[in-house]
Structure 1
Amino acid sequence: MEQAPHAPGPDGAAAPAAGGPGGQPLQIALTVPFPSPVEAEIAHWFLTSHAEPRGPVRQELDVNGSVLTVRLTAEDPGQLQMSITSCLDQVSRVTRTMQRVVPPFFAKPQQDKGG
């Protein structure tokens, strides 16, 4: 994503930096469902303890039940895009690793199908 050059405003001053409507910061939220709350908490712990510095991009992580939510907020669309790519890569690594490593007893119990 490229940022357009700042054109002068009506008074000749430079236009404000890129952002959302009305100069608001840009934000994206990613929700990742996990098979169990324990796995969501493990992913949360891993992502917060191994977080890469994102400079002017703010990252918030939250777990609600078995769903991990990641929010990224930035003023600059290019920086936000780079952080989104990095975040998706980290979430992908965590989920792949957990699929291979997390013991089955952490998984959500299966309901008996009756009979």
Structure 2
Amino acid sequence: MSYIPVDLKYVDSHEWLRVEENGEYTVGVTEHAQSLLGDVVFVELPEVGSEFEQGNDAGVVESVKAASDVYSPIKGTITAINSELEDTPELINSDPYGDGWIFRIMPDGEPDNLLDADAYSELCSDEG
């Protein structure tokens, strides 16, 4: 079973969210998702200032096996991107909940449909 930090929130498309002190959310893909992808070789990041609806494509993570869209887990505006991923995309594999974060987003309204660690763990085990 993949490591699922209890202090984060999750969505069923396998992104995680961490609320920051200023109200922004840091977003990345879960350990479960990166393990299914395999070795990450490229990350397409959103532009700072871009606005997304919840569930919109906000980027792409490409691995040696597949490409997977990264969805905005909440409605809001991108405030920062992890430009380190442009040169070292493998950070998503080595540290998905830390240095492998993808973007920060300032929410527009209260996020809904977020899962806690237990609900996300159940989702992952239901997928087989």
TM-score, normalising length: structure 2 = 0.27
When you count helix as a share of all residues, which structure comes out higher? 1
When you count strand as a share of all residues, which structure comes out higher? 2
Larger Cα Rg: Structure 1 or Structure 2? Answer: 1
